[in-house]
Amino acid sequence: MKVILVNPAFYDGDAFRNRFEDYVDWIRGGNLYVAPFEPPLGLAYLTAAIKRLGHEVILLDMQGLMMDSAELARRLSAEQPDVVGVAAMTPTLPAALRVVDIAAEMIPDATLVLGGVHPTLDPQGVLAHPNVDYVIRGEGEKPFAHLLDILAGNRNDRAQIHGLCYREKNGFHIAPKAEPVENLDDLPPADYDAFPVDLYVEHNRVLRSTRGISMIVSRGCPYTCTFCAVQQTMGRTWRTKSPDKVVDDIIRLRDEHGVEGVWFKDSIFNLRPKWTERFCQQMMQRKVGVEWQALTRINLLDEDELEMMKAAGLTQIDLGIESGSPRSLLRLKKKITVEDIKEKVALAKKHVRVFGFFMIGIPGETEDDVRQTFELAKALNLDRWSWSIYSPLPGSELYDELVAEGRIKPYALDHERVHFTEAYDGICAISPDRLKQLYAEINDYFSHRQRAA
C-alpha cells in the first residue's frame, strides 16, 4: 500500500509565518515553548513500523515545512496514495480535519484515517466527520498495520481489532484502545529521515545554539496529575527502549546528521534508577559526546543520580513545577509541596541548567494563587521557563471535573483555543481578560530578565 502520513500545521499560509516570528521572539525571551520546532516523533515511529512491513510511506510534516493547504493538495494529487493517515491532538483537530477534507477532494478513492490523542478520546465525534473513514485509538503501530492488511485484502476481521473504529450502517463500531506495545525494543527506531530532520537541527542551532533534535524513548506514566492527558493514549505503565538501543540511536543521529544535542521529550526520563544508570554508563563508555536534556518530576531528583547524568552529558533538566500555590498543587495532584520545589530546584541548580513549566488560571485560582506562583518562579532563579494559561484537556481528570461541575461542555471546545495562551471563562475566579493581562505581565518580566542576563 502507498501511505501518506500527515502532521497537520496549526496555522495555514501567512498566519503561520506571522506566528513563526512570535515563536522566535519567545525563544529569545527565554520561553522555550516552540511548537513548530518539534518533530512529529509519533508519526516517525509509525512510518518506521509500517515501512518494515513493506508499505511505501511518505510523511508530510506540514508543521516543520510550514506547508500550506495549497501545497498539500498538490502533493496529495501528485502522489495518489491509497491511504492518508493524519495525526490529531485536541488543539490540532480542526487542522487535521482540514487535511482530511483536502484529501477527500484530491484523492476521492483513498482511505482516510485519523489517529493520535484526540481521536483516541472521542472516536465517535471524529468519525461523525463525513470524510473520516477510520479512527485509530491508542498506540498506532499494531492497529494501523492491521488496517493496511485489511485494505490490501489480506484479512477481513476488522471488528476484532483493538484500536480500530469505523462507521457502520447504523452507527459506529468503537473498539477498545489498542493494547500498549509491551516491549518498545520490538519497534524499529523512529524514522528521522521521514521528516526534515536537518531543518530541525538547523533551527535548534540558530535558536538554541546547539545542533539538537528531540527523542522519545519511553511511553506511559504512572502518575495521576489531574491536568494531564498522557495516560489516555499511553497508559499508566511506563515502558522504555533498552538503554543500549537508545544510545545506538543517538550515535546514529550524531553520525548521520551531525547532532550535538538531544532533548528527551519523554514525560519522565529517569523513572527507573537502574535504567538511568545503564544509559549513563553507555553514554560514557562509548564516548558519545552528545549533550542531552530531559524531563523529570521534582520528587525524582536525586543528587547522586544528577551527578552521574551530568557526567554522561546532561546539561539541562526540565521540571514540571506548575504552581507556587499549595492549594493549586493539591488540585493538580502534583504530589509535591512548595518546600519540595525549593529544595530540589536548588539541588538541581548545583549541577545543571534548570527549566521549569508553570501554569496560571488553574481551576479555582484567585489572583493570590497566581501571585504565589509568580513569586515562587522569581525566587527559584531558573535558567529557562515556560508559562501557560491552564486549558482543560479532554482526557484529563480536571476536564472531567469541569464538565461534571457544568463549567465546560464536553467536547464543545473551540479546539484552536486549547493552546495554553488563551483563557476560558468560568474556570477560575479571574476573568479571562485579567488572566491574559497577568500572563503578559509574567512573560514580560521573565523576557526582560532573560535579555538582561
Under the rule (CB under 6 A), what is the footprint of ligand SF4? 221, 223-225, 228, 230, 267-268, 297, 320
Write down the least CB distance from residue 267 to ligand SF4, Å. 3
Show contacts with ligand B12 in window 256-295 (CB under 6 A). Answer: 265, 267
CB closer to ligand B12 out of 269 and 279: 269
Among 30, 81, 115, 313, binds ligand B12 (CB under 6 A): 115
Closest CA relative to residue 373, chosen from 415, 428, 414: 428
CB 197 within 8 A of CB 368: no
Q: Measured from the CB of residue 17, what is the shortest distance to ligand B12 in angstroms?
A: 15
Binding segment for ligand B12 (CB under 6 A), chosen from 19-27, 73-81, 392-400, 442-450, is 392-400
Applying CB under 6 A, does 320 fall inside the site for ligand B12?
A: no
Which does residue 59 touch among ligand B12, ligand SF4, none (CB within 5 to 8 A, set by kind)? none
Degrees, nearest 5: CA angle 228-187-289? 80
Residue of the chain from 30, 42, 64, 320 that contacts ligand B12 (CB under 6 A)? 42
Q: How do 239-240 and 218-219 pair as beta strands?
A: antiparallel
Considering only CA atoms, which of 308, 306, 333, 318 is closest in space to residue 397? 333
Q: Cβ distance 87 to 43 under 8 Å? A: yes
**To the nearest whole angstrom, how small is the minimum distance from the Cβ of residue 85 to ligand B12?**
3
Binding-site partner at residue 297 among ligand B12, ligand SF4, none, CB < 5 to 8 Å by type:
ligand SF4
Give the strand pairing for 111-115 and 56-61.
unpaired
Would strands 212-215 and 218-219 be described as parallel, antiparallel, or unpaired?
Answer: unpaired
CA-CA distance, 430 to 432, in Å (whole number)?
6
Shortest Å, Cβ 281 to ligand B12: 25
Q: Least distance in Å: CB of 201 to ligand SF4? A: 26
Among 30, 91, 212, 361, binds ligand B12 (CB under 6 A): 91
Among candidates 162, 140, 183, 149, which has minimal Cα distance to 45? Answer: 140
Collapsed DSSP state (helix, strand, coil) of residue 191: coil
Least separation in angstroms between residue 304's CB and ligand B12 is 27
Work out whether the CA dihedral 281, 286, 289, 294 comes out positive or negative.
negative
- Grid coordinates of 285: 563508555
If binding is defined by CB under 6 A, does position 443 make contact with ligand B12?
no
- Residue 216 in the binding site for ligand B12 (CB under 6 A): yes
Q: How far is the CB of 419 from ligand B12 (least distance, A)?
A: 5
Q: Which is nearer to ligand SF4, 85 or 235 (CB)?
A: 235
Closest to ligand SF4 by CB, 86 vs 268, is 268
Bridge partners of 3? 57, 83
Closest-CA residue to 372 (of 323, 310, 442)? 323
> Judged by CB, which is closer to ligand SF4: 60, or 228?
228
Residue found under cell 497508559: 235
Which of residues 45 and 227 has its CB atom nearest to ligand SF4 in the complex?
A: 227
From the list 89-97, 101-109, 252-260, 360-368, the region that binds ligand B12 by CB under 6 A is 89-97
Residue 143, φ and ψ in degrees, nearest 5: -65, -35
Rounded to whole angstroms, the Cα distance separating 260 from 240 reads 23
Question: Within positions 220 to 239, which residues make up the interface with ligand B12, using CB under 6 A?
Answer: 228-230, 233-234
Q: How far is the CB of 228 from ligand SF4 (least distance, A)?
A: 3
Q: Which stretch binds ligand B12 (CB under 6 A): 140-148, 342-350, 353-361, 374-382?
A: 140-148
Nearest approach in angstroms of CB 269 to ligand SF4 is: 11
What is the closest distance, in whole angstroms, from the C-beta atom of residue 321 to ligand SF4 in the complex?
A: 11
Position 141 contacts ligand B12 (CB under 6 A): yes
How many angstroms separate the CA atoms of 190 and 218, rounded?
Answer: 12
Count of CB atoms situated within 10 Å of the CB of 73: 16
- The separation between the first and the last C-alpha atoms of the chain, rounded to the nearest angstrom, is 54
Pairing verdict, β 134-136 and 164-168: antiparallel
- Is the separation of the CB atoms in 10 and 95 below 8 Å? yes
When asked if residue 144 is in the footprint of ligand B12 (CB under 6 A), the reply is yes
Residues 104, 167: Cα–Cα separation, whole Å: 16
Instruction: Check binding of 297 to ligand B12 (CB under 6 A).
Output: no
Residue ranges in contact with ligand B12 by CB under 6 A: 7, 10, 35, 38, 40-43, 45-46, 63, 85-87, 89-92, 113, 115-118, 136, 139-141, 144, 216, 228-230, 233-234, 265, 267, 388, 393-395, 419-420
